[in-house]
Homo-oligomer: A and B are copies of this chain.
Amino acid sequence: MEREQKNIQDKLDEAKHQFIGTIAQNMGLYGVSDTNGRLYGTVLFAKRPMTLDDMSTALGMSKMSMSTGIRALMEADMVERVWEKGVRKDLYQPNDDWYQSFASAFVNRWREAADNNQKAARQAKKDFETFLKEADEPYLIEVLQHDLEKINYALGYYEWLDEVIRIFESGEIFTMVPPK
């Protein structure tokens, strides 16, 4: 019987390992590397908050990697540091609001890019319009009009994108598609 329980334990570890491997593989979408994904999975299934040394032995990797990895996960708000009486080492546990993590990952990635692009497009539009006033060679004028069309299209798109991002940013997405 002892033997059999041991087998279950092994099989459980194997099943968890499998699952963690899969989600880690896809965690690049959240801006988290493969290895840090496995790190997150390990912390996620731990029954208790883990220390860097725990993680190091669990994954068979250097403590330094755990240190930098956990920092990345903290910045992505995927783990949090907790304090426990009498424990000197830093302890980490999963911050497992995946819905919020998704929204944050999405917004963080797109917000800055969208803003930069919009700003650049506005500047380009201003420039092009100035050039158009100065130009009098037909070919150049034609080119400028063509370019302005492109820019105006881009500006419309950025407005739209801005609105889409805002839906995730404000949490409005959670009323449109309610969490389960």
Q: Are A160 and B177 in contact (CB under 8 A)?
A: yes
Is A134's beta carbon under 8 Å from chain B? yes
**CA–CA, A143 and B120, complex, Å:** 53
Is A85's beta carbon under 8 Å from chain B? no
Is A64's beta carbon under 8 Å from chain B? no
Q: Are A163 and B177 in contact (CB under 8 A)?
A: yes
Q: Are B116 and A16 in contact (CB under 8 A)?
A: no
Query: Main SS of the interface on chain A?
Result: helix
**CA–CA, A165 and B29, complex, Å:** 14
Is A75's beta carbon under 8 Å from chain B? no
Interface of chain A residues 11 through 30 with chain B (CB within 8 A): 11-12, 15-16, 18-19, 22-23, 25-26, 29
Q: Of the candidates B29, B146, B157, which one forms a contact with A113 in the assembled complex, judged by CB atoms under 8 Å apart?
A: B29
Interface size, chain A (Cβ < 8 Å): 65
26 contacts between A and B (CB under 8 A): A1-B136, A4-B134, A5-B136, A11-B131, A12-B131, A12-B143, A15-B123, A15-B124, A15-B127, A15-B131, A18-B123, A19-B120, A19-B123, A22-B117, A23-B117, A23-B120, A26-B112, A26-B117, A29-B110, A96-B150, A98-B154, A98-B157, A99-B160, A156-B179, A164-B177, A176-B176
A residues engaging B (CB < 8 A)?
Answer: 1, 4-5, 8-9, 11-12, 15-16, 18-19, 22-23, 25-26, 29, 44-45, 47, 96, 98-99, 102, 109-110, 112-114, 116-117, 119-121, 123-124, 127-128, 131, 134-137, 140, 143-144, 146-147, 150-151, 153-154, 156-157, 159-161, 163-164, 167, 173, 176-180
